[in-house]
Amino acid sequence: MNFVHVGVAPPRSKSRYAAALFALLGALPIACVYDASDRCGPHQVFEDRRCVCEAQSAWTPTGCVPCAADEVPGATGCMCKPGYSKSQTDGVCEPTPTGLGAPCDVSTPCVDAEFDHCEVGMEGKGYCTNSGCSSSEDCSGGYACDAQATPSVCRRPPLGLGMSCSSDEDCAGTEATYCDAFKSHSCLVQGCSLTPNNCFSGWECCDLSAFGVPQPICVAQGGCST
């Protein structure tokens, strides 16, 4: 009598089946383990059935990031808290200067009671100073009174003026962009107006095109060669 084994694989077939099943399971990713106490990503909390950034963190395209001590969460990341602004050197939030020389513009007015005038500098950037002066004695911090302005204002010395240099590259990024590499080896203001003279107090605008200087420059009063 012949017996038929239904549904039972031969020994060799069983070993092949087991090997194939093991290979298939090994190729599958390991399933995530659900943890009710940690449903969200880094610096997130679970509120109102969704994950949100924790109190002192801000949302960014790469996820929630914690804000520094002088920062607060903003719409697109951390931002400086009121009264603070980021330093141009290291990007760290520091108390915003409010006195003489503090940066200012239409959205950031001068708040100091004494230096409440926003004067636009040569590069189009404003700084806080005082107005209504009658002489440079009414100014402080090396500022000089521009009595021709309306109203008269204490002007800041051009940034970079007198800085040591050997080429124009050394003066780049300042308000004194011309390097006098022949005599004083210092940065001077160029592009001034001859009439009226708009150089800083104690300086005069001088046309030195005959000596190969393409634009008029501000030189010390009485030092203009003709």
pLDDT at 225 over 70: no
**Calculated CA dihedral for residues 104, 110, 116, 121, nearest 10 degrees:** 0
Domains held by the chain: number:
3
**pLDDT per position as a tens digit, 3-32:** 444 444 455 555 555 555 455 445 444 444
Domain of 125 in residue numbering reads as: 97-156
> What band does 113 get if pLDDT is binned at 50, 70 and 90?
very high
Looking at every residue in the chain, the average pLDDT score rounds to: 80
Domain membership flag for residue 171: yes
Domain membership flag for residue 3: no
> What band does 155 get if pLDDT is binned at 50, 70 and 90?
very high
Give me the sign of the Cα torsion angle 140, 143, 144, 148. negative
Helix ranges (DSSP H) in 28-172: none
The predicted structure's pLDDT at residue 206: 93
For residue 3, how many other CB atoms are within 10 A of its CB?
A: 5
pLDDT at 197 over 70: yes
Counting beta carbons within 10 angstroms of the beta carbon of residue 155, is it exposed (0 to 12), middle (13 to 18) or buried (19 or more)?
buried
The predicted structure's pLDDT at residue 8: 47
Q: Does one domain contain both 62 and 78?
A: yes
Counting beta carbons within 10 angstroms of the beta carbon of residue 180, is it exposed (0 to 12), middle (13 to 18) or buried (19 or more)?
middle
The predicted structure's pLDDT at residue 14: 52
According to DSSP, the β-strands at 203-206 and 186-188 are: unpaired
Between 6 and 198, whose confidence is greater? 198
The predicted structure's pLDDT at residue 32: 47
Report how far residue 114's alpha carbon sits from residue 99's, in angstroms, rounded to the nearest whole number. Answer: 8
Mean pLDDT for 206-212 is: 89
User: Looking at 156, 172, 198, which one is the last position of a domain?
Assistant: 156
> What band does 150 get if pLDDT is binned at 50, 70 and 90?
confident
**What size, in residues, is the chain?**
226
With pLDDT > 70 as the criterion, what percentage of the chain qualifies? 79
> What band does 1 get if pLDDT is binned at 50, 70 and 90?
very low
The predicted structure's pLDDT at residue 154: 95
User: Looking at 126, 141, 156, which one is the last position of a domain?
Assistant: 156
Domain membership flag for residue 21: no
Contact 46, 40 (CB under 8 A): yes
**pLDDT per position as a tens digit, 47-96:** 777 788 887 888 888 888 898 888 888 777 888 887 787 765 667 888 87
The predicted structure's pLDDT at residue 73: 82
**pLDDT per position as a tens digit, 128-138:** 999 999 999 99
131 DSSP 8-state letter: B
Domain membership flag for residue 64: yes
Domain membership flag for residue 110: yes
Domain membership flag for residue 18: no
**pLDDT per position as a tens digit, 180-192:** 988 888 999 999 9
The predicted structure's pLDDT at residue 223: 85
E-strand ranges in 93-141 read 93-95, 103-104, 117-120, 126-129
pLDDT at 177 over 50: yes
Domain membership flag for residue 55: yes
Q: Does one domain contain both 101 and 89?
A: no
